[in-house]
Amino acid sequence: MPDLFSHALGGYILLRPRWQAFLIPSIFMLGCIFPDMVRGPLLMITNLIKTAPEYSYPFLILHSPLPLLVQAWLVSWLFEKTIRRRVFLNLLAGIILHLVLDAGQKAYHISYLWYFPFSFENPINGLWWADDGFFVTAVFIMVAGSLFLIRRRHTPKR
């Protein structure tokens, strides 16, 4: 997968200061890493205790689109009513960006179970293998770094 650096920086690159009227940057950035934040530790534990791969599938599906939609719904109800809808939409936007980046990851089968629970077929072949992601991370770091410097230069001083 693109690592959390790429996911987080991808979210930062897409953030526009003028969108702050309807965007909650911290929630959007949380959405950008949310799928791996939930699934990652669970998979790491199953890997460490060396269980058979099939025992990790219940956790693997937490990264699929439909379960992620349900998780975004769940998380939004942990917020106050006045901002709940915005939280849901911001979280979902970050999650969608995360999934778009993960769609670039190469897999012949299973992958992120994109159609779960309706199908276990993998419709997306991807472009790069998960551990080839260094160049992706490097590109994101360079772009995000440049953007940070540009935005800082154009931010009016107080």
Residues that bind other proteins (CB under 8 A): 3-5, 7-9, 24-27, 29-30, 32-33, 36-37, 40, 44, 47, 53-55, 57-62, 66-67, 70-71, 73-74, 77-80, 83, 106-111, 113, 116-117, 120-122, 129, 131-132
Q: Which residue has the tokens 């439909």?
A: 66
What is the nearest approach in angstroms of other proteins to the Cβ of residue 100? 17
Residue 25 Cα distances to 39, 59, 82, 88, 107, angstroms = 22, 27, 17, 13, 31
Q: Compare residues 48 and 156 and give the one whose CB is closer to other proteins.
A: 48
Q: Compare residues 100 and 141 and give the one whose CB is closer to other proteins.
A: 141
Q: Compare residues 60 and 89 and give the one whose CB is closer to other proteins.
A: 60
5: DSSP letter: H
What is the nearest approach in angstroms of other proteins to the Cβ of residue 16? 17
Report whether 98 contacts 32 (CB < 8 A): yes
What is the nearest approach in angstroms of other proteins to the Cβ of residue 138? 14
Tell me how far apart the alpha carbons of residues 75 and 70 are, in angstroms, rounded to a whole number: 9
What is the nearest approach in angstroms of other proteins to the Cβ of residue 144? 11
Q: Compare residues 106 and 151 and give the one whose CB is closer to other proteins.
A: 106
Tell me how far apart the alpha carbons of residues 94 and 92 are, in angstroms, rounded to a whole number: 5
Cα 51 from chain centroid (whole Å): 26
